[in-house]
Amino acid sequence: MIEISSKLEEGIYYIHVKGEVDASSSIHLDESISQATQNHKKILIDCRELEYISSAGLGVFMSYINELEDKDIRLVIYGLSEKVKHVFQILGLDQLLTIKSTEEEAKYIVDGI
C-alpha cells in the first residue's frame, strides 16, 4: 500500500511518500513526479516513511533523470532509511540522483546556488 501526498510550500514542491512502492503502486509515484516536473523547478521527495521500493519504483526515478537535466530541475530525495538507501547505492542511482539525509540539507541544495 502506498500513500502519496504533495504540497507547495515556499516555492518548493514537496512529495511525501509513505509505505511501499511496488509494481502496482509505482504508477502513483510516477503520476506524482510527472505532475511535479511539469510546472516546478524545485522538488523535494520526503522518503522518511518509505519502507520498501521495488525495481519498478526505482525504474520510475530512473526514467526522470534525463528530464531533470533537460529542464534544469533540482530534485532531491531525503530521509531514506539505510536499507532503502543501500538499494539506491547498489544500482548506482545515488550518483545520478541527489540524495540527502535531512530535510534541511535537501532544502539547502534545492534553494542554494
At 94, which amino acid appears? Answer: D
Residue 78 Cβ vs another protein, minimum distance, rounded to whole Å: 21
- Report, in Å, the least distance between residue 22 CB and another protein: 10
Is 11 a binding residue for another protein by CB under 8 A? The answer is no
Q: How many CA atoms lie within 13 A of 50 on its CB side?
A: 30
CA distance 56 to 21: 8
Residues 6+ apart with CB under 8 A from 38: none
Cβ(42)–Cβ(52) below 8 Å: no
Residues 49-88 that bind another protein (CB under 8 A): 55-56, 58-60, 62-63, 65, 83
Site for another protein in 12-31 (CB under 8 A): 23, 26, 30
Binding residues (CB under 8 A) for another protein: these are 23, 26, 30, 55-56, 58-60, 62-63, 65, 83, 90-93, 95-96
